[in-house]
Chains A and B, each alone.
Chain A
Amino acid sequence: MKGELKELKLTVNGKPYEFKVKPQTLLVDLLRQELKLTGTKIGCLDSACGACTVHIDGKAVRSCSVLAMQANGRKVTTIEGVADGDKLHPIQEAMVEHGAIECGFCTPGMVMSSKALLDENPNPTREEIREAIQGNLCADEGYVKYIEAVEIAAEKMRGGQ
């Protein structure tokens, strides 16, 4: 499979980039190998675990199941683009403070799925939070504190912080 290289222009975490990529290149491989944005993890390559979740134009997608070329002309946000400099996003802050994080491998994906939810729905029910992160597999902490942390963050964000 020696496909011709294709031109790709996209914005990642606010910065514009141009690449020449193999057409079969996955978005996750572009992010991790070309841009060294290794906060986006590879768990399953089946869209089943959510560790590779990023945003394309604000929507949460599995970057293992999106071709890099499908992000052409679009805005991609990864976990590295969520905090405002040293200041954590309220979702990140709540996950740290509430003790939601254990091994941390699923954490970037959890943050991205939760953020996509709260960006669209600032006042979700617990069921809506569960649905929003049900595509993100965790293996160690039981989801309880992740769900509660998103509730804490939503409340804080609604409070105008």
Chain B
Amino acid sequence: MGETFGDYAVLGKKMPRVDARLKVTGQAKYAADYDLPHMLWGQIKRSPYPHARILNIDTSKAEKLPGVKAVTTGKDFNGFKWGWSGPTRDEEPFATTKVRYQYEGVAAVAAIDQDIADEACDLIEVDYEPLPGVFDPFEAMKEGAPLVHEDRPENICVEYHWDFGDVDKAFAESHLVREDTFQTPRMAKGYIEPPAVVAYWADDSHVVFQGAKGSPYFPYRILAKCFNLPLSNIRVIQPFIGSDFGGTKNDMVHCDFAAPMLAKKTGRPVKLVYTQFDELTTCLRRHPMWVTVKTGVTKEGILTATSLKVIADGGAYTRMSPLTMFLVGTCMTLPYKLPNFKYDAYNYFTNNPSSAAMRGHGLYHSRFAADVQLEMIAEELGLDPVEIRLKNSIENPKPGEVYETVNEVHVASCGMQECIEKVAEAVNWKKVKGHKKVEGEKAYGMGFAAATYNSGTKLSAHNACAAIVRICEDGSVNYLTGASDVGQGSDTVTCAIAAEVLGIGLDDIDLKRVDTAFTPVDPGSYGSRVTVLAGQAARNAALDAKRQLLEVAAKQFEVKPEDVEIKNKQVFVKSNPEKNMPWWKLVRIACYDTPGKVIIGRGYSTQGISMYGLADFSKGVGDIGTNYSFTAQANEVEVDVETGVVRCTDNSVIAHDCGFPLNPQAVETQCQGGAYHQGIAAALYEEFKMDKGQTLNPNFIDYKRPRANEAPMSKVIHVLTNDPYGPYGAKEASEGSTCSAPPAIINAIHNATGIWIKDLPAQPEKLFWALKEKREKDKGKK
């Protein structure tokens, strides 16, 4: 805490977030906080069936209800279908012929208040022909199973088969080969702010959309296609976003289509706000996966080969499942050296709400399985869990060198070994390892894990982030970004980069959040891409503005531009600092000296364009990341052996290699939050309970979330590797610890009790029965 890094004026130091004051005083406005004059309220009509043919929709009674201004159904969208990429456009704004999951939207209403909109939805009469459904991938894969999409045989949503090296030969030559199946739970994204949107039409060809979207250029592109308008006429204005974590707030949900369509029909602004019930029953979830991992090692515990087979529940529509399944496989060759690797992925359509990206996207499933299995192998071989990780870890490449995995993933910086060493030292591993402590009914154990995550994610097509630095004539600066801060802190860090380059303070910069009418296009906030790519855009835009200002300064000082520098808002000649002027004066001269200049700096990122070629999903080769973070984590747990309740203690350390911590405080909260809310949550707490497509616990009481009273006070250690492809050496922070937390917890439970929980989460009942079984088995042995 309070640590500073590097030799910079602004970066690497404690910096309060640029939006913190607005947030802490309640002034920050989120989508649901906006009201407009003459605004109508909307509601969605949803299907009670998880799988049914729609025979007829009669909206006449709803339309006659006083106060109702418009009703829309899927037919209004003229056959428009959308999806994450060209080949996966399989979803309609509202179902027209068939519903594929419970509460899928079939119509929407706009009325003068929310009560009337709700009542009108009840008056819409829909005739359904219920169909038999498939509710997990094992039902979906059966021969003759009902089809979720008639044109997708065998309910296969995504299938990959990759084979690198010679896995069979390596297994044959291995000292030990182990196969285990792990299961990850069906999880909510868990953000507290449900989807909300206000939309209106400025005129008959310009739509304005203000919604809770973490990647506002997704709706920008999708709405243009949907309403057959040029992109120039789509205005998405971004409010503050109450977290995202992938999926729902990247792309569209029913309200995002309903609001603009109802606004078009009525000529009035329309607002739709989801309840948390809507969110938890219909929005995107983390895929549940069945991960079978077979691993071979030498006598010394060196990995020889891994064969990975993954079965996933994709839910009703494809969404981003092709990317998910790629991510599950690609980083199996990190952070440990793995010469032979085989991957078979099967993602099935089911009649459950669609699955999609979530913090730790993809890697969380396979890294959990592989890291717990490595712990099992260490135990079988009598090796120390830290030692086996250290000796298998990729070393930090020498400057200028790059480590290449067997599937052509490229790593230019790797602090894995340093992370492992630092965590081991911080928890005094040599002393605590294997020494479980028992106090009454409480057993204590420590677990260790290591992980990696891709950062600066690059996909096919548009990858560049962009920024505009606008110098105001009084010396203040506007930073216009296409990137979105959904809580991760990118607004602060990109402004800090611009301030660093310009030689001014963070306070001198005012950030303009996305308004697609004015800000530059940006892919979105996903795949831990923002700091790395928007950070480079910030730097380039600020350098461009600075170049223009230095030309003016050079003229004033009668030197060359490269002889001038700006630091602490002072402009001076490098060789003769006596020759100087304040920042505001230089700006004034630049802007006012007839005919006057307009200083606008522009820049975009280039690092997203691959050095080695883009990832090929079907072959499984290539880089999805611009660079890769590394994380080691140790957690102590307390297991109540009578009740099966597991609690983290405060003995918890995370060491994270984010390359260079541009904002150290933000890196810490990102690591702590990524570990607890989406990692430990999966290990101990969260899981949707389902019954034939119906979500049985769609609220935050029955769906247990990790809370403050059980939060480990994790200590975060910064490991610096200064990656050559990140701005100022930076890589991602947070998704790494989402991947290291679950294996750390499961390994800790094993350390405390001797039990392996392979299907997450380790909720009390599961552990209670496992403990009972073990007691009986142990008794039998005696």
Residues of A within 8 A of B (CB): 1, 32-33, 36-46, 48-49, 51, 78-80, 82-83, 88, 92, 95-108, 111, 129-131, 133-147
Contacts and interface: CB of A to CB of B under 8 A. Distances in A.
Nearest to B15: A99
B754 interface: no
In the complex, which of the residues B273, B669, B673, B705 has the most CB atoms of chain A within 10 Å of its own CB atom?
Answer: B669
Interface string B257-293: 0000000000000000101110000000000000000
B673 A102 contact: yes
Nearest to A109: B192
Contact of A101 (B17, B115, B699, B701): B17
A95 B25 CA distance: 11
Among B23, B275, B488, chain A packs the most CB atoms within 10 A around the CB of: B23
B672 interface: yes
A41 B714 contact: no
A134 B708 contact: yes
B621 interface: no
B192 A43 contact: yes
A105 B276 contact: no
Nearest to B214: A103
B724 interface: no
A142 B672 contact: yes
Tell which of B26, B27, B241, B714 has the most Cβ of chain A within 10 Å.
Answer: B26
A133 B708 contact: yes
Contact of B242 (A79, A99, A105): A105
16 contacts: A33-B35, A36-B35, A39-B25, A42-B32, A46-B699, A49-B700, A80-B26, A99-B14, A104-B23, A107-B24, A111-B24, A134-B707, A137-B707, A139-B673, A142-B672, A142-B675
B245 A92 contact: no
A105 to B, nearest CB: 3
Given A42-B32, A49-B700, A103-B191, A145 B669 contact: yes
Q: Kindly name the residue among B192, B194, B666, B675 whose own CB sees the greatest number of chain A CB atoms within 10 A.
A: B192
B16 A142 contact: no
A105 B676 contact: no
A43 B677 CA distance: 16
A48 B699 contact: yes
Contact of A102 (B22, B115, B488): B488
Contacts of B273: 42
B306 interface: no
B14 A103 contact: no
B668 interface: yes
A126 B523 CA distance: 42
Could you say which interface size class chain B belongs to? Answer: 35 or more
B20 interface: yes
B232 interface: no
A63 B364 CA distance: 37
A43 B194 contact: yes
Contact of A38 (B21, B33, B194): B33
B299 interface: no
B192 A41 contact: yes
Interface in B483-507: 486-489
B711 interface: yes
Nearest to B715: A144
Contacts of B22: 104
Contacts of B665: 98-99, 145
Nearest to B667: A99
Contacts of A41: 30, 32, 192-193, 242
B221 interface: no
A104 B28 contact: yes
B540 interface: no
B25 to A, nearest CB: 5
A144 B714 contact: yes
A130 B649 CA distance: 13
Given A139-B191, A145-B672, A147-B713, A44 B699 contact: yes
Contacts of A98: 665
Given A41-B193, A103-B243, A137-B700, A142 B32 contact: no
A47 B618 CA distance: 46
A142 B675 CA distance: 8
Contact of B701 (A36, A48, A130, A144): A48
A39 B673 contact: no
Interface of B: 14, 16-17, 19-30, 32-33, 35, 115, 190-194, 240-243, 245, 273, 275-277, 486-489, 663, 665-666, 668-677, 699-701, 705, 707-709, 711-714
A21 B673 CA distance: 41
B779 to A, nearest CB: 37
B673 A140 contact: yes
Contact of B21 (A88, A100, A131, A136): A88
B673 A134 contact: no
Contacts of A88: 21, 24-25
Nearest to A95: B24
Contact of B275 (A45, A131, A143, A146): A45
B610 to A, nearest CB: 30
A145 B676 CA distance: 13
Contact of B673 (A51, A104, A135, A142): A142
Contact of A144 (B16, B28, B487, B713): B713
Contact of A49 (B14, B192, B241, B488): B192
A44 B190 CA distance: 11
Contacts of B190: 139
A92 B25 contact: yes
B666 A99 contact: yes
A147 B672 CA distance: 13
B638 to A, nearest CB: 14
Contacts of B677: 138-140, 142
Contacts of B243: 102-103, 105, 139-140
Given A49-B700, A99-B14, A101-B20, 9 more contacts: A39-B25, A44-B699, A92-B24, A96-B16, A105-B240, A108-B26, A131-B709, A137-B192, A140-B245
Contacts of A141: 487, 669-670, 672-673
A133 to B, nearest CB: 5
A38 B700 contact: no
Nearest to B650: A126
B30 A105 contact: yes
Nearest to A102: B487
B19 A143 contact: no
B193 A43 contact: yes
Nearest to B26: A39
Nearest to A146: B708
B709 A51 contact: no
A111 B235 CA distance: 34
Nearest to A2: B115
A97 B21 CA distance: 10
